[in-house]
Amino acid sequence: MEKSSTLLVHFDKSSPALANEIKEALEGSDGAAKADAMKKAIMLLLNGESLPHLFITIVRYVLPSEDHTVQKLLLLYLEIIDKTDPKGRVLPEMILICQNLRNNLQSPNEYIRGVTLRFLCRLCESEIIEPLIPSVLSNLDHRHPFIRRNALLAVMSIYRLPHGEQLVPDAPEMIERALATEQDPSAKRNAFLMLFNCDQARAVAYLLSHVDQVPEWNELMQMVALDLIRKVCRTNPAEKGKYIMIIVSLLTAPSAAVVYECASTLVSLSSAPTAIRSAATTYCQLLLSQSDNNVKLIVLDRLNELKSSHREIMMDMIMDVLRALSSPNLDIRRKTLDIALELITPRNIDEVVLTLKKEVVKTQSGELEKNGEYRQMLVQAIHSCAMKFPEVASTVVHLLMDFLGDSNVASAIDVVLFVREIIETNPKLRVSIITRLLDTFYQIRAARVCSCALWIIGEYCLSLSEVESGISTIKQCLGDLPFYTVSEEGETNDSLKKPQQVNSSVTVSSRRPAVLADGTYATQSAASETAVSAPAIVPGTLSSTGNLRSLILTGDFFLGAVVSCTLTKLVLRLEEVQPSKAEVNKQTTGALLIMTSMLQLGQSSYLPHPIDNDSYDRIVLCIRLLCNTGDAVRKIWLESCRQSFAKMLADKQFREMEEIKAKAQISYAQPDDLIDFYHLKGRRGMTQIELEDEVHDDLKRATGEFTKDGDDCNKLNRILQLTGFSDPVYAEAYVTVHHYDIVLDVTVINRTKETLQNLCLELATMGDLKLVERPQNYTLAPESSKQIKANIKVSSTETGVIFGNIVYETSNVLERTVVVLNDIHIDIMDYISPATCADVAFRNMWAEFEWENKVMFQPLLSLHSFKLLKCM
């Protein structure tokens, strides 16, 4: 176990110093060499080396040195060496340093005095400190503030020792007098901190006697005052009314740290609407005034907590929260949108949607690199708003449809999914959406977006003009037929061979399985998911090809199958709305020609890879259906698909409502609980905030919000028994796992009639776990208990084991007694918390993280050779 120190020192293990070299350098007269030798000695001690003979050398040659650097290093050395024997008694040679410390405390140099006083703050041995107390107290009146502030800290540390009250019995009175006359801000803060930690009643009296001056105090004093208020109100909640006004007065302090602490304290102490509104306003102001992104994220976390407990008040602050979207950081924007989406009401939905629309328009500027990702977040936010409040869909759907051809494929997919859901849930917008979609369809350059848009066209083009426009749009985007000619294939076979080989290598190497909604896989080319920047020029076609033609000529026959299904639906619907049979036959013939051209293209050698079996079967099915239709099949193609989609949306809304109900907190009140009425409450001498706070506390008490039985049950489930009931020392641990930290709260009970001395909890870990700090030794009285905390760092989410024992001594037995503890197993499930994820987001993350490793192998034997070997 590494020894504790207040200094981090780099240690070069490649060239460790020898003890003899260090001793020779210390005995010399060169100050720089002594300082270097002291550094080497400190590094060796911190890394577990023992230098037992070096102490006398340091006493003889280093103590008399007047070099300030050497004296500072001497104090660090004295801090880390063992000053007690195994039984806890101070070593006799430690008396040699007391005179040197006394001389330092009386030195004419202020720096030496100050660092020595700071060193005394880290000493725990009363035998060493006791002879130095008069010198420490004399420094309280020194003229230099540097010495006074360190002397105040030294007095506080001495007073907080196990027997410190006997060493300095009148310390609180002395510090109180020093606080009344002190002018230095840091020294004043240290004096107030000493009263806060050692004599809370005097600190409270000083605070209440200077209430009017608290806003004028310096930042350090105000922070200590807030800590004092929190501690007092936690122990005595009935008195928090007199302190709330102090907190409110500090909300206008110039220091951002003080303002943040004030808001946090106000939320933790009061439930009054006025107090919560003031805290929320303060958080929003910090959100805009602070430039540090980490600060903004922390403030957003606090606002998120307020949203959970005081949603009604936060609804009025939604526009202030949305102002954080001005930050270019995507994490801040994402968290801001998440908070705002849960605060939407019919009163503020119009303002929120208008703000989101303005942000969408700003993303068109292209000034920032991640505008596409930000636009995707905005589209998802608008989508959520439109689902909760369908009346706003008409104001945003046409704006978002301009981004169907966005170069960011993920953003374009979100837009088309939004359009698909809106056109089903808002029948009044169907005509305008279909018209706009047909006008902008040629701009779409992503295969997945085209597939979804084609499905919308096939399902929701109902009138004669819409059906004819849909067929015409698809034909225009496909271009002239056929996709290639046989003669041109033979003529251009040699000239296009090399470019085709290059294209083939690019396309085949990027093929990967796509995860469908049901968890199955469909093989597709990655080229179908990327934007087509420059459509290929094919002989016999126009120089400017349509988007569907360009995508199909890259080998995306899945899109070709979708085009065939869409044309089939449109032709089937045309038979119902078109009275002219000749026109129906003409469109049917055109659709069949397109489908057969796709099959011809897929079976030719013109493309680097042929059509896949699934797409081939789908296109052939469409051809057979158009050649011979029946009423049952017609109903399936024209009605069942949309009915299934409507059922999916209804199921999705049902699940969302169930989640909202599950999140709602159910509070219970006891039958005999006291209920106070607002109008019957006495108001004498109470401010509005105090009155509101008391009323809300009564309401919480009456509705059972103060009781958290569920938390207590969970806590009991996480208690692990470490020793047996028959052991002389009983121990149990409460394990708390938080991200990369594990906290063990161990309760140790002395079940014997003897005093246990030097009781130590020794822990060791297995796996990627590391003990941060070794627990100190304790003395347990008969039948008494002690709470011991141990912190463990986790470097990976793997299963680990914590094991150890409890070691103690008794006065009757000279040997140490060891009690072995049960192992504590840290499971990976302790790090995992349940969460929900949308289907689209899950598929994107699955493809991005590549959780399924692809292993390429070359078989040594062909199938024919294997059969021959088998026959032999």
Is 490 or 155 the better-scoring residue by pLDDT?
155
Q: Which of 267-276, 326-335, 399-408, 629-638 has the highest mean pLDDT?
A: 326-335
Return the pLDDT at 621.
92
Lowest-confidence segment of 178-192, 301-315, 446-460, 650-664 by average pLDDT: 650-664
Strand stretches in 795-843, DSSP E? 800-809, 817-820, 824-826
Predicted confidence (pLDDT) at residue 666 exceeds the cutoff of 60: no
Question: Which amino acid makes up residue 450?
Answer: C
Q: Which of 189, 180, 178, 182 is nearest to 222 (CA)?
A: 189
Mean pLDDT for the stretch of residues 801-808: 88
Return the pLDDT at 456.
92
Mean pLDDT for the stretch of residues 583-600: 90
Confidence band for 213, pLDDT divided at 50, 70 and 90? confident
Claim to verify: residue 721 and residue 798 sit in the same structural domain? yes
Strand partners, 791: 743
Would you state the structure tokens that stand for residue 484, as one six-digit string?
Answer: 């290639």
Return the pLDDT at 845.
75
Among 269, 285, 312, the domain-final residue is 269
* CA–CA gap between residue 767 and residue 340 (Å, rounded): 42
Predicted confidence (pLDDT) at residue 325 exceeds the cutoff of 50: yes
Predicted confidence (pLDDT) at residue 221 exceeds the cutoff of 50: yes
Mean pLDDT for the stretch of residues 134-160: 90
Among 683, 706, 729, the domain-final residue is 706
| Domain extent for 195 | 105-199
Return the pLDDT at 379.
86
Claim to verify: residue 163 and residue 220 sit in the same structural domain? no
CATH of the domain at 744: 2.60.40.1480
Q: Which of 279, 259, 255, 256 is nearest to 267 (CA)?
A: 279
Residue range 72-128, pLDDT digits in tens: 888 888 888 887 777 667 788 787 788 888 888 888 889 888 989 998 888 888 888
Claim to verify: residue 158 and residue 130 sit in the same structural domain? yes
Question: Can you tell me which residue has the tokens 């760092």?
Answer: 793
Report helix angle 219-235 to 185-198, nearest 10: 10
Claim to verify: residue 723 and residue 694 sit in the same structural domain? no
Claim to verify: residue 742 and residue 808 sit in the same structural domain? yes
Return the pLDDT at 593.
92
782 DSSP 8-state letter? T
- Compute the mean pLDDT over every residue in the chain, rounded to the nearest whole number: 79
Return the pLDDT at 697.
61
Kindly state whether residue 331 falls inside one of the protein's structural domains.
no
Kindly state whether residue 321 falls inside one of the protein's structural domains.
no
Confidence band for 790, pLDDT divided at 50, 70 and 90? confident
Mean pLDDT for the stretch of residues 636-650: 88
Is 778 or 856 the better-scoring residue by pLDDT?
778
* CA–CA gap between residue 304 and residue 848 (Å, rounded): 29
Kindly state whether residue 520 falls inside one of the protein's structural domains.
no
Kindly state whether residue 540 falls inside one of the protein's structural domains.
no
Return the pLDDT at 245.
82
Predicted confidence (pLDDT) at residue 869 exceeds the cutoff of 90: no
Question: Which amino acid makes up residue 41?
Answer: A
Claim to verify: residue 117 and residue 180 sit in the same structural domain? yes
Kindly state whether residue 185 falls inside one of the protein's structural domains.
yes
* CA–CA gap between residue 172 and residue 38 (Å, rounded): 38
Question: Which amino acid makes up residue 428?
Answer: K
Return the pLDDT at 865.
52
Predicted confidence (pLDDT) at residue 785 exceeds the cutoff of 50: yes
Mean pLDDT for the stretch of residues 7-22: 62
Claim to verify: residue 78 and residue 117 sit in the same structural domain? no
Return the pLDDT at 3.
46
Among 174, 199, 224, the domain-final residue is 199
Return the pLDDT at 729.
92
Return the pLDDT at 450.
92
Kindly state whether residue 109 falls inside one of the protein's structural domains.
yes
Claim to verify: residue 724 and residue 815 sit in the same structural domain? yes
Return the pLDDT at 500.
42
Return the pLDDT at 528.
36
Claim to verify: residue 715 and residue 809 sit in the same structural domain? yes
Q: What's the total number of domains in the chain?
A: 5
Predicted confidence (pLDDT) at residue 748 exceeds the cutoff of 90: yes
Kindly state whether residue 132 falls inside one of the protein's structural domains.
yes
Return the pLDDT at 392.
84
Percent of the chain surpassing pLDDT 70 = 80
Torsion of CA 168, 174, 179, 182, to 10 degrees: -110
Claim to verify: residue 674 and residue 690 sit in the same structural domain? yes
Claim to verify: residue 738 and residue 825 sit in the same structural domain? yes
Half-sphere exposure of 681 (CA within 13 A, CB side): 20
Residue range 810-833, pLDDT digits in tens: 877 667 889 999 988 877 666 667
Claim to verify: residue 731 and residue 823 sit in the same structural domain? yes
Is 541 or 721 the better-scoring residue by pLDDT?
721
Question: Can you tell me which residue has the tokens 């004096």?
Answer: 191
Kindly state whether residue 548 falls inside one of the protein's structural domains.
no
Return the pLDDT at 695.
58
Predicted confidence (pLDDT) at residue 499 exceeds the cutoff of 60: no
Return the pLDDT at 51.
76
Return the pLDDT at 675.
57
Confidence band for 568, pLDDT divided at 50, 70 and 90? very high
Residue range 33-42, pLDDT digits in tens: 888 888 888 8
Confidence band for 680, pLDDT divided at 50, 70 and 90? low
